[in-house]
Amino acid sequence: MDAVVEDFLHSWSFVRRMTYDFIAALDDRYWLYTPVESLAPLAKQFRHMIGISGLYNDALRHRTVDFERKRSFYPATIDKAAIVAGLRMQDAELERLMRALDAEARQALLIDFGGNKMRFGDYTTMLVQHEALHQGIWALCARLAGFATPPLWQQEWVL
């Protein structure tokens, strides 16, 4: 497999593991927590991550991001098991799509992201950044609600 793709998958695995750890550590009483009405509750933010991951994967197949399809990737419910299953399904598909790219295909990759043409490096950086942005929101929610972040978060990021 292409070393650049392997590096991305390694980075993605780390950042997504932080999401899984947050979900696993989240006490049920905070599952629908939001500090303000204008911010989606945590469970719906996790569902959003499934929808966006589905869009990212779809764009790898079709070379364009179709934001209208985001909800088509949502699980039927927002319970913890459905959220984790949805994330795992999207992660497995991302890995499959990435492993299908050789160096030539990766270098030729061009994805239309709302009119912005993104090459592999830009696109995969955006995937990691989007995940990390939400993790920052979740860390703030934890602080405001008064619950601890998972040990990995405290160890790696002192959050």
pLDDT tens by residue, 93-151: 999 999 999 999 999 999 999 999 999 999 999 999 999 999 999 999 999 999 999 99
pTM of the model: 0.94
How much is the pLDDT for 158? 81
Query: What's the CA gap between 60 and 28, in Å, rounded?
Result: 34
- Answer whether residue 67 shows pLDDT above 80: yes
Dist. CA 72–CA 10, nearest whole Å: 27
Q: How many CA atoms lie within 13 A of 96 on its CB side?
A: 9
Taking the CA atoms of 9, 1, 85 and 60 in sequence, report the sign of the dihedral they define.
Answer: positive
Domains and CATH numbers, the chain: 3-27+38-157 (1.20.120.450)
* Percentage, residues of the chain above pLDDT 70: 100
Predicted confidence band of residue 1 (pLDDT cuts 50, 70, 90): confident
Q: Is 37 helix (H, G, I), strand (E, B) or coil?
A: coil
Residue 118: φ, ψ to 5°: -115, 130
Mean pLDDT of 58-81: 95
Mean pLDDT of 71-99: 97
**Mean pLDDT for the chain overall:** 95
Alpha-carbon gap, residue 104 to 92, rounded angstroms: 22
Q: How confident is the model at residue 16 (pLDDT cuts 50, 70, 90)?
A: very high
Residue 159 clears pLDDT 80, i.e. is over it:
no
